[in-house]
Structures are given as structure tokens and as C-alpha cells.
Amino acid sequence: MDKTVIPVQIRALVPTSAGCAVFIGSEEKVFVIYVDQSVGAAIGMFLSGADKERPLTHDLLAHVLAALGARVERVVINDLKSGTYFGRLILTAENELQQKKIIELDARPSDCMAMAAQQKAPIYVSRVVWEEVEDMSELLERLQEEQSPEAGDAG
């Protein structure tokens, strides 16, 4: 199995009737992962650095990780089966003796992306997934043009 990964970034969040479309990719290609509204909102808040009245679930997890001496090292969207994406949250933890441990956890890609956005950790996609997804770059460009303040501005 090919373990090669491609670095990607969250390129845009677009609200949908059922939740949120997360456009993720690189200069080469962009694809979409649909997430529920609450996780989409959390990703948006983490990306924008917005203040929150109370901690979100992802904040709680980050506080627990920090208390245990762990942090999010990176996330990987590693599989796609029947239209469902799968992810891995890769943590590093260091104990009081400076012994380092790497922990890999299965997680929903939506939660992985939220944690990566919150912790400013890199996001990767496995080559297997990368080659299977449809390039949605043109759709993203169209959506961004429609939302642009210059669009439809007669000047």
C-alpha cells in the first residue's frame, strides 16, 4: 500500500443546506469534504481566530491533550470508501523524562481538520485518496467569484 501523502490546506468553507462544504487541497487540485454545520462552524472559528464565549468540544480535547503533554502533530485523510472519508489524528506526547511517543488515532476527517485548524497543524491526504477525488478547483473559483465584492459591481 502506498503510504505517500500530499500536503494540503483548507481552501474555503461554503455553507450548504445540510452543513458545510470544506474545500481542501493545493495549487494542483482541490476537493470537497462535506461536514456537519457545527464542525464547519468550529473550523471557521479556528481559522479566523474568532473569540468564543465558551470552549468548544475541540477546545476541550486540546486542553486534555495539553494537560497530558500531547499535541496534534499532523492529520492525514487516509482513506475513501463508498464516498466516506477516513482520517488519522497523529499526536506527539512527551513525558517528564523527555521520552517522546507518537500516537495515531482514527478520527473523522472533519474533527481532524478542526483540530488541525485549531492547533495550526499540517494536513495531509494519502496519495490513494488524492488520485481518487475529483478536482473541484473550477467550482471553488466560480463560488469565490460569485462571493467577491467586485462581482456585479458596476463601479
Q: pLDDT tens digits for 50-93?
A: 888 888 889 899 999 998 889 999 999 999 999 999 999 999 99
The class of domain 5-147 in CATH terms is: alpha beta
- Cell representation of residue 41: 462552524
Q: How far is CA 119 from the centre of its chain?
A: 11
Reported confidence tier of residue 132, pLDDT bands at 50, 70, 90 = very high
Helix (H) or strand (E) holding 112: helix 109-119
Q: What is the pLDDT of residue 53?
A: 85
Which residue type is seen at 33? Answer: I
CB 10 within 8 A of CB 46: no
Q: List, in sequence order, every residue forming a beta bridge with 10; answer none if it has no partner.
A: 24
**Separation of alpha carbons 56 and 46, rounded Å:** 10
Residue, of 51 and 107, whose pLDDT is higher: 107
The pTM for the full model equals 0.86
